[in-house]
Structure 1
Amino acid sequence: MTTDTEASGPGAAAAAVTRMMAGPVRADEIDLSIGEPDQALPGVLVEAAVRSLRDGRTGYTPKLGLPELRDLVAADVEAGTGYRPDVEDVVITVGGTGAVAVALAAACAPGGSVLVPDPAWPNYRVLAERLGIGVLTYPQGESGDGFLDLARIRSGLRAGARLVAVNSPSNPTGAVASAAALRSLVALVREFGAYVLSDEAYESVVFAGGRAPSPLADGGVDVTFAARTFSKTYSMTGLRVGALISPPRFRTAAAALHGTTAGCAPVTAQLTAIEALSSLPGRADQLSATYLARYRTAVQILGPWAPGTPVETLGGFYLWLDARPAGHTSAEVCAALRDRGIVTSSGLVYSATDGFVRVALTAPDDVLARALTLIREELDRLAARAC
């Protein structure tokens, strides 16, 4: 089952898997290919992790997570959306990726299909295809009310999609959905008896301040799976802990899927997450200010190559660079940049449209400025050769 915007054949999934299998970058390269915050794990979280090991807390937890952490996650959801989920509907997962996997399997398998945006984080497609779930796509819009192509989503729902994935702020574009757009989506999926997968990995990194709107905020509780992670906001990428808030009717399915595939999230990560939610209330504001400044620096250095989107409407960690005027494919541009010591991510990992490059703004300011300068020089050189 496809739509005319779906990447042809298995190319998008294959490109994503190839990226997943890539080895480490060289020590002399600047890696702007992955969304891993360059800020160190805060000291208070380091101490929490070490303390858990010294105290001998290295065993299993309850399968759905430590009760204290589940309660703190519910409170954090309430702080951002006004809705406090029942703790029974909060599952502590192995990263946000684990939350997405459980939601996909619960809502779509077996034999269902999922609608994903283009461009989008590739794991939706890869995981769905491995689970035998059909993949359809809809165009990802810009920030605001046009974030979702509701007409295309309606077509996908008519074709039988059971789940609509939405990622705001978006990986890779940084676009942020408006509350109105999400309300419209909730009404639409309810009309078709379908569900929303709200991937909220970057919901706390919003350049305008505050937190990104969520479909949980405006009556979407019964149709929304919300996937969250501690990786981005708290620099906990390697600790692997996230959370899934599921619609109440999926309480048993979510528990069964997570409990039998993951057992439980790592106890050290869960204890560190408790400390994060308890001790670092201003962490998201700090990150938002950092990445807003970096994005503005990128716009200044890249000049005509920078996206024209108003910076204050964006969020997340990425710059979605349109390199098509350089006259080369995404792969060719990435290869040329790597020859200059800059590792980026091919747009074909995220989109069926060739010619884009995703640049993660996740390097110290001086290193990032040097890398962006080299990117500008290389794009100018490629464009001149193409003339």
Structure 2
Amino acid sequence: MIIQDVINHLEDFAPLQYAEDFDNVGLLVGDKNTSLTGVLITLDTLEAVVDEAIETKCNLIISFHPIIFKGLKSITGKNYVERVVLKAIKHDIAIYAIHTALDNHIEGVNDMICNQLELINKSILIPQNGTIKKLTTYVPQAEAETLRNALFDAGAGQIGNYSDCSFNLEGTGTFNGNSNSNPTKGKKGSIHYEAETKITVTYAKHLESKILKALFSTHSYEEVAYEILSLENQNQNIGMGMLGELPQTMEETEFLNYVKTKMNTACIRHSALLGKPVKKVAVLGGSGSFAISNAKRAGADAFITADLKYHDFFSAENEIILTDIGHFESEQFTKNGLVAHLTKKITNFAIVLSKTDTNPVKYF
């Protein structure tokens, strides 16, 4: 295997097209065509993590957080970011970051929090817009079924819990090929009338190249007529945060103790208790203050996240319990989930869970 083979598995699972625009994801250091010796998975890439990769003979580090977030104007080792990059390059170790591509995945960071808390009836808290596209094309009626099936096989026509979804309308298409044309129907230089089926399907945007390849390789026309539109429909399977329910209603202090134990956190900062039972819970790993209003609109009794500032707690407004469990603590199980996923996909190479504690926050 080469490093690109592992990247393919990662991006099939969590396509980079769904990462946030501000993010820096993908292969950040190294050559994708290098032969693979092993994979080390971590939450953050620090010098100690690179040392661990050297020791375990892993030449690919998969990190949740990107070590390079802003542009580097020089690499001289003057800070920890530059020292990590220098050491990785010196030892031919590649670094790949997945970050918000995994944040937005339905089985990603927030699903892992929900699973740790044993939440049920889960759904995306903030569905992502602009991730669904619509393809319309026109094909001879006799070829419509073959083309539809090719598009379905490429991933088109998936809507929620339904597959093979399409809209079909029969009509008449006309065309007249010039002297340079090579029509598969009719003759060049004369107008042709063809009984056609208009086929419309939706698809996830990361599948576009695969969908178009299926269209062009299956369609019989020399020039394929097609239209692509980006839809504003929300994607119920992609987005930030999750909403779920506790198996049983809990009293507030019982809930806080439950979260503290399950999420293995030393302390929880929280807004005022409301004297109400807790059943519906919103979660968002990492810095989640931007989602407070979404959690409230969703009717959550509590919101679990991190990096809340002083004034953020006022936003609870006696409607919800805001809980800050710590940035590292909210994402700590992410690397375990990645190890579990890749171990199923790659059986002939070591997938190593980093033992390095990368949490920069300590508690006294």
TM bucket normalised to smaller = under 0.3
Larger Rg: 2
Q: Give the alignment's TM-score, normalised by structure 1.
A: 0.24
Q: Highest relative contact order (Cα 8 Å, sep 6+), 1 or 2? A: 1
Q: Give the alignment's TM-score, normalised by structure 2.
A: 0.25
